[in-house]
């Protein structure tokens, strides 16, 4: 079979949904994608080295808030979704999505070990007429520079024998409006044929596919999206620091500025940025830019400003306690919300972690409430959530509102707390005498 015939055969099977998909990495990106495949009637194999995730899926249990357990149970019962930690199952797959983490090393250099390990497993079972799509966020050039050599050393030519593309994940945990199904899917292949095949894969499952000319363009798209947010959050955080010095309410400033119907997009200050993407992705971009002799000072400065916000919050805690002639050392401080954003359980890179560590170093007696995170075990912090109640609020010398979950009763917070440091403006208009805003 020639490469063109192979492409045509795979394209035809993709359009008929007569193929087997594999998804490596069953986290916030991979599991929703696997469920969408199954929902479209496609056989999908979910692969993850975490045995607990495999067991949960086999039992029809979801561990991700946006995916109901019923969807998992239905897909498993229909024989459309099966989970395993055995990579040999890749031999059965016609398409493979790599959805593994891409953290940074302590030196802020990209850590591609998860991608490389997954690709090595794919290479063991790669076969003619297979499509591989990398979805893990990474620097421009990764797909062509890292994956192409690994696969072509097996004697298969990318664009002729096998097809390789990059498609950035755009998951927004906790967003009920935009999901894997309806978020436009950008896809760029190593070759035009690769783009065509990858677009056909997603076109049969998702609502809107946007092909671009090259894999590196698609890789850059993801970094631009999250760097855009990082820089604008950095800007508004700096404005917040400036307004604090000037005695100006930054929240009132933003509310007024956003009445302009053109040329302005509101961003809001906060205790820091969290999640897997926004705190990390700009560093992928600046690291790659340095290889071309380009120094991305603007992007890196935004990272510095955002990284200072937990320290600023701790300073505000000190100001709040000073009102009752207390110090942070020995004070009972209750943190409301430890997830990185409202209404989810994800604590990756959450600013609450930095705030807890900083307060602990100053001798504070810490507790937290978060209905989505019953146990916190991150970065050396091991705590169980306290029940949110009037009594818990009254016991605290200072309450720090870090994550503004809708579940919290903010009238109760305003009424029962001795003093509150509100980093999200959740207590807007409530009991200003004991509320200290960011």
In the structure encoding, which two tokens stand for residue 235, read together? 């800007």
β 131-134/163-166 pair status: parallel
Q: Report the pLDDT value the prediction gives residue 433, as an integer from 0 to 100.
A: 77
In the structure encoding, which two tokens stand for residue 418, read together? 């001795």
Query: What does each C-alpha distance from 297 to 116, 187, 289, 371 come to in angstroms?
Result: 30, 29, 11, 39
Rounded Cα distance between 331 and 397, Å, is 6
- Dihedral sign (CA 135, 140, 146, 149): positive
In the structure encoding, which two tokens stand for residue 149, read together? 């050599």
Contact 33, 48 (CB under 8 A): no
Rounded Cα distance between 207 and 112, Å, is 30
Rounded Cα distance between 75 and 71, Å, is 6
Q: How confident is the model at residue 274 (pLDDT cuts 50, 70, 90)?
A: confident
State the virtual CA torsion across 214, 219, 221, 227 in degrees, nearest 10: -160
Query: Is the confidence at residue 382, as pLDDT, over 80?
Result: yes
Query: Is the confidence at residue 328, as pLDDT, over 70?
Result: yes
Chain centroid to CA 69: 21
Q: Report the pLDDT value the prediction gives residue 8, as an integer from 0 to 100.
A: 55
Could you give phi then psi for residue 403, rounded to 5 degrees? -125, 120
| pLDDT top residue among 277 and 364 | 364
Beta strands (DSSP E) in 158-288 are 163-166, 185-189, 209-212
Q: Report the pLDDT value the prediction gives residue 298, as an integer from 0 to 100.
A: 87
Contact 185, 202 (CB under 8 A): yes
pLDDT averaged over every residue in the chain: 93
Q: Report the pLDDT value the prediction gives residue 3, as an integer from 0 to 100.
A: 39
Q: Report the pLDDT value the prediction gives residue 431, as an integer from 0 to 100.
A: 60
Q: How confident is the model at residue 6 (pLDDT cuts 50, 70, 90)?
A: very low
Query: What does each C-alpha distance from 76 to 25, 59, 133, 356, 387 come to in angstroms?
Result: 17, 8, 24, 40, 35
Rounded Cα distance between 31 and 17, Å, is 19
Query: Is the confidence at residue 368, as pLDDT, over 70?
Result: yes
Q: How confident is the model at residue 378 (pLDDT cuts 50, 70, 90)?
A: confident
Q: Report the pLDDT value the prediction gives residue 432, as an integer from 0 to 100.
A: 67
Q: Any catalytic annotation for residue 243?
A: no
Q: How confident is the model at residue 271 (pLDDT cuts 50, 70, 90)?
A: very high
CATH hierarchy code of domain 3-213:
3.40.50.720
Q: Report the pLDDT value the prediction gives residue 129, as an integer from 0 to 100.
A: 95
Domain 233-437: CATH superfamily is: NAD(P)-binding Rossmann-like Domain (3.40.50.720)
Rounded Cα distance between 155 and 304, Å, is 46
Q: DSSP assignment, residue 322?
A: H
Q: How confident is the model at residue 264 (pLDDT cuts 50, 70, 90)?
A: very high
Query: Is the confidence at residue 83, as pLDDT, over 90?
Result: yes
Write out the residue limits of the CATH 3.40.50.720 domain(s) in the chain.
3-213, 233-437
Range in 284-293, 324-333, 345-354 with the lowest mean pLDDT: 284-293
Q: Report the pLDDT value the prediction gives residue 27, as an integer from 0 to 100.
A: 94
Query: Is the confidence at residue 173, as pLDDT, over 90?
Result: no
State the virtual CA torsion across 137, 143, 147, 148 in degrees, nearest 10: 170
Annotated catalytic residue within 194, 277, 369, 398 = 277
The mean pLDDT of 350-367, rounded to a whole number, is: 96
Q: What is the largest CA-CA distance in the chain?
A: 81
Q: How confident is the model at residue 4 (pLDDT cuts 50, 70, 90)?
A: very low
The mean pLDDT of 327-345, rounded to a whole number, is: 96
Report the b/e string of 248-258 with b at 16+ CB within 10 A.
eebbeebeeee
| pLDDT top residue among 275 and 306 | 306
Report percent pLDDT > 70 for the chain.
97
Q: Report the pLDDT value the prediction gives residue 172, as an integer from 0 to 100.
A: 87
pLDDT digits (tens, 9 = 90+) for 17-73: 999 999 999 999 999 999 999 999 999 999 999 999 999 999 999 999 889 999 999
The mean pLDDT of 229-236, rounded to a whole number, is: 94
Query: What does each C-alpha distance from 42 to 32, 91, 98, 162, 391 come to in angstroms?
Result: 14, 17, 17, 20, 52
């Amino acid at each position: 079979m020639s490469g063109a015939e192979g492409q045509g055969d795979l394209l035809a099977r993709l359009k008929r949904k007569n193929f087997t998909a594999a998804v490596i990495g069953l986290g916030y990106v991979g599991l929703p994608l696997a469920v969408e495949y199954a929902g479209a009637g496609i056989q999908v194999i979910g692969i993850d080295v975490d045995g607990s995730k495999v067991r949960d899926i086999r039992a029809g249990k979801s561990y991700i808030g946006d995916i109901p357990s019923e969807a998992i149970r239905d897909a498993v019962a229909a024989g459309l979704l099966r989970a395993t930690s055995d990579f040999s199952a890749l031999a059965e797959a016609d398409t493979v999505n790599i959805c593994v983490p891409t953290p940074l090393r302590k030196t802020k250099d990209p850590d591609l070990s998860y991608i490389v390990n997954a690709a090595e497993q794919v290479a063991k079972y790669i076969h003619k007429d297979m499509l591989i799509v990398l979805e893990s966020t990474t620097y421009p050039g990764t797909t062509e520079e890292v994956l192409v050599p690994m696969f072509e050393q097996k004697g298969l030519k990318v664009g002729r024998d096998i097809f390789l593309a990059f498609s950035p994940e755009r998951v927004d945990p906790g967003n009920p409006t935009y999901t894997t199904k309806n978020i436009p899917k950008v896809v760029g292949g190593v070759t035009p044929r690769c783009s065509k095949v990858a677009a056909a894969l997603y076109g049969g499952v998702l609502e809107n596919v946007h092909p671009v000319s090259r894999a590196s363009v698609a890789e850059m798209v993801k970094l631009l999206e999250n760097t855009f947010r990082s820089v604008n959050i950095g800007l508004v955080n700096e404005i917040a620091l400036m307004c604090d010095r000037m005695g100006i309410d930054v929240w009132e400033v933003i509310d007024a500025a956003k009445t302009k119907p053109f040329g302005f997009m509101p961003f809001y200050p906060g205790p820091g940025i969290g999640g897997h993407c926004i705190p990390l992705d700009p560093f992928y971009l600046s690291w790659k830019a340095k290889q071309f002799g380009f120094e991305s000072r603007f992007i890196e400065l935004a990272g510095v400003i955002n990284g200072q916000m937990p320290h600023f919050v701790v300073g505000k805690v000190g100001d709040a306690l000073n009102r009752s002639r207390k110090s942070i050392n020995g004070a009972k401080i209750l943190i409301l919300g430890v997830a990185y954003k409202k209404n989810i359980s994800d604590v990756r890179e959450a600013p609450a972690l930095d705030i807890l560590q900083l307060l602990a170093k100053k001798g504070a007696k810490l507790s937290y409430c978060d209905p989505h995170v019953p146990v916190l075990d991150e970065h050396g912090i091991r705590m169980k959530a306290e029940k949110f109640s009037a009594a818990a609020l009254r016991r605290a010398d200072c309450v720090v509102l870090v994550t503004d979950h809708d579940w919290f009763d903010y009238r109760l917070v305003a009424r029962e707390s001795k003093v509150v440091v509100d980093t999200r403006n959740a207590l807007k208009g409530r009991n200003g005498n004991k509320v200290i805003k960011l």
